[in-house]
Amino acid sequence: MKAVPTANKVSTVKEKNLENPYLLLTPGPLSTSGSVREAMLRDWCTWDDDYNLGVVEEIRSQLVKLASDTEDYTAVLMQGSGTASVEATIGSVISDEGKLLVINNGAYGARIAQIAEYLNIAHTVLNCGEINPPTPAEVEQLLLEDKTITHVAVVHCETTTGMLNPIEALAPVVKKHDCVLIVDAMSSFGGIPIDLAGLGIDFLISSANKCIQGVPGFGFVIARRNILSQCKGHARSLSLDLYDQWHCMEKNHGKWRFTSPTHTVRAFHQALSELQKEGGIAARHERYSTNQSMLVQGMKELGFRCLLSEDLHSPFITSFYSPEHPDYDFHRFYEQLKEKGFVIYPGKVSDADCFRIGNIGEVYPADIGCLIKAVSESMYWAEC
pLDDT(117) > 80:
yes
Q: Please say whether the beta carbons of 304 and 376 come within 8 A.
A: no
Spatial separation of the C-alpha atoms in residues 286 and 167, rounded to whole Å = 20
**In the prediction, which pLDDT does 259 show?**
95
Spatial separation of the C-alpha atoms in residues 134 and 171, rounded to whole Å = 12
Spatial separation of the C-alpha atoms in residues 150 and 211, rounded to whole Å = 30
Lowest mean pLDDT among 4-18, 95-109, 277-291, 300-314: 4-18
Spatial separation of the C-alpha atoms in residues 28 and 303, rounded to whole Å = 27
pLDDT(9) > 50:
no
Taking the CB of residue 157, how many other CB atoms lie within 10 A of it? Answer: 29
Q: Residue 11 burial (CB < 10 Å; 0-12/13-18/19+)?
A: exposed
What contacts 24+ positions apart, CB below 8 Å, involve 326-329?
A: 327/380, 327/381, 327/384, 328/381
Phi, psi (rounded to 5 degrees) for 285: -60, -40
Spatial separation of the C-alpha atoms in residues 219 and 82, rounded to whole Å = 5
In this structure, the dihedral spanned by the alpha carbons of residues 143, 147, 148 and 153, taken in order and rounded to 10 degrees, is 20
127 phi-psi bin (left φ>0, alpha ψ -120 to 50, beta other)? beta
**In the prediction, which pLDDT does 17 show?**
52
Alpha helices, H only, the chain: 13-16, 34-38, 49-51, 57-67, 82-93, 107-118, 136-145, 167-176, 196-199, 225-228, 242-251, 262-278, 280-301, 330-339, 365-378
Q: How confident is the model at residue 2 (pLDDT cuts 50, 70, 90)?
A: very low
Q: Residue 67 burial (CB < 10 Å; 0-12/13-18/19+)?
A: buried
pLDDT(384) > 80:
no
For range 194-217, the mean pLDDT: 97
pLDDT(70) > 70:
yes
pLDDT(130) > 80:
yes
Q: Please say whether the beta carbons of 290 and 304 come within 8 A.
A: no
Q: How confident is the model at residue 296 (pLDDT cuts 50, 70, 90)?
A: very high
> SS3 of 341, please?
coil
**In the prediction, which pLDDT does 1 show?**
46
pLDDT(19) > 90:
no
**In the prediction, which pLDDT does 298 show?**
98
**Pairing mode of beta strands 73-79, 218-224:** antiparallel
Spatial separation of the C-alpha atoms in residues 138 and 56, rounded to whole Å = 40
- Amino acid identity of residue 335, one-letter, is E
pLDDT(94) > 50:
yes
For range 216-229, the mean pLDDT: 98
Q: Is the pTM for the entire model greater than 0.85?
A: yes
Burial 201-240 (b: 16+ CB within 10 A, else e): bbbbbbbbbbbbbbbbbbbbbbbbeeebeebeebbbeeeb
* Element holding 346 (H helix, E strand): strand 345-346
**In the prediction, which pLDDT does 27 show?**
87
Q: Is the backbone peptide bond immediately before 29 cis, with ω within 30 degrees of 0? A: yes
Spatial separation of the C-alpha atoms in residues 94 and 116, rounded to whole Å = 10
